[in-house]
């Protein structure tokens, strides 16, 4: 029986070649790729094929093309590139996937809290405290509550001052937002739930790294228990 072989196009071959060259360090973050004319000579393809390859790399979030200046390797972690990896993940349809999401969220958020405790500044403390002040509209509206909840945790990721943590949290935006919305809908006393953030923030203010890490993990576990109950009641398997 013949085994089908996937034939790659010239554009796909160029994409893989440039990705490999970037991976091997030939081009560093922020570096300009060779000129279009130079790459046409190197790869011996048409201008249309080369531009298709560059457009694909740009769509993947690996490079950025500036008209008249050329193509540059992105200098920061690309949220778009990481987001492509999570397209097949649908925690809203599967409890096992939700469990996977919660485990990942717990690990990420506990380390974010620990880093935030280590690196927070007085100005950032005021910012975090302002995000803890919920008006009545946020308490009674689960959608508004979930959005503000997400913004608080995203702010912690920024305070942690680690580009990988921040990018990972931004990439998980849709999945975490879904999780937080289910959580907001599952609890009757959202004000009490909000106040569970206070000990975490206090530990961050006190720069108690281990306490911030532990409290964030406990908080995440409590949230997960509510969400699992709601999903089971809604028939999600």
Tens digit of each residue's pLDDT (9 = 90 or more) over 206-223: 999 999 999 999 988 887
Domain boundary among 22, 51, 75: 75
Does one domain contain both 65 and 133? Answer: no
Domain range holding 198?
Answer: 81-233
Does the structure show a pLDDT above 80 at 203?
A: yes
Q: Which two tokens stand for residue 76?
A: 């920061």
Q: What confidence score (pLDDT) does residue 214 get?
A: 95
Whole-number pLDDT of residue 92 = 57
For the chain, what is the domain count?
2
What average pLDDT does range 34-48 have in this prediction?
Answer: 92
Range with lowest mean pLDDT among 26-30, 50-54, 58-62: 58-62
Together in a domain, 36 and 128: no
Within a domain: residue 4? no
My answer on whether 181 and 138 are in the same domain is: yes
Band the pLDDT of 172: cuts 50, 70, 90: confident
71 and 144 in a single domain? The answer is: no
Per-residue pLDDT at 207: 96
CA dihedral 116, 205, 213, 153 (to 10 degrees): -60
Q: Are residues 48 and 34 in the same domain?
A: yes
Percent of the chain at pLDDT exceeding 90 = 31
Q: Do 57 and 134 fall into the same domain?
A: no
Last residue in a domain, options 19, 52, 75: 75
Q: What is the mean pLDDT of the chain?
A: 82
Domain shared by 112 and 225, yes or no: yes
The CATH number that applies at residue 216 is: 1.20.120.530
**Range with lowest mean pLDDT among 19-28, 98-107, 126-135:** 98-107
| pLDDT score, position 147 | 85
């Amino acid at each position: 029986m013949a085994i089908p072989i996937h034939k790659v196009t010239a554009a796909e071959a160029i994409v893989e070649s440039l990705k490999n060259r970037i991976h091997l360090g030939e081009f560093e973050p922020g570096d300009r790729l060779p000129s279009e004319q130079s790459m046409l000579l190197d790869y011996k393809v048409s201008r249309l094929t080369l531009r298709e390859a560059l457009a694909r790399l740009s769509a993947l979030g690996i490079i950025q093309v500036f008209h008249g200046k050329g193509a540059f390797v992105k200098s920061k972690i690309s949220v778009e590139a990481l987001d492509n990896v999570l397209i097949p993940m649908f925690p809203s349809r599967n409890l096992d996937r939700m469990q996977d999401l919660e485990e990942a969220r717990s690990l990420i958020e506990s380390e974010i809290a620990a880093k935030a405790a280590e690196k927070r500044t007085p100005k950032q403390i005021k910012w975090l405290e302002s995000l803890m002040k919920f008006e009545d509209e946020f308490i009674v509206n689960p959608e508004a509550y979930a959005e503000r909840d997400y913004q608080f945790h995203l702010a912690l990721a920024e305070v942690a001052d680690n580009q990988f943590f921040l990018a990972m949290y931004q990439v998980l935006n849709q999945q975490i937002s879904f999780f937080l919305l289910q959580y907001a809908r599952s609890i009757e006393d959202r004000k009490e739930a909000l106040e569970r953030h206070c000990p975490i923030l206090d530990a961050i203010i006190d720069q108690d790294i281990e306490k911030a890490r532990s409290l964030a993990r406990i908080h995440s576990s409590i949230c997960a228990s509510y969400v699992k109950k709601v999903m089971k009641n809604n028939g999600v398997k």
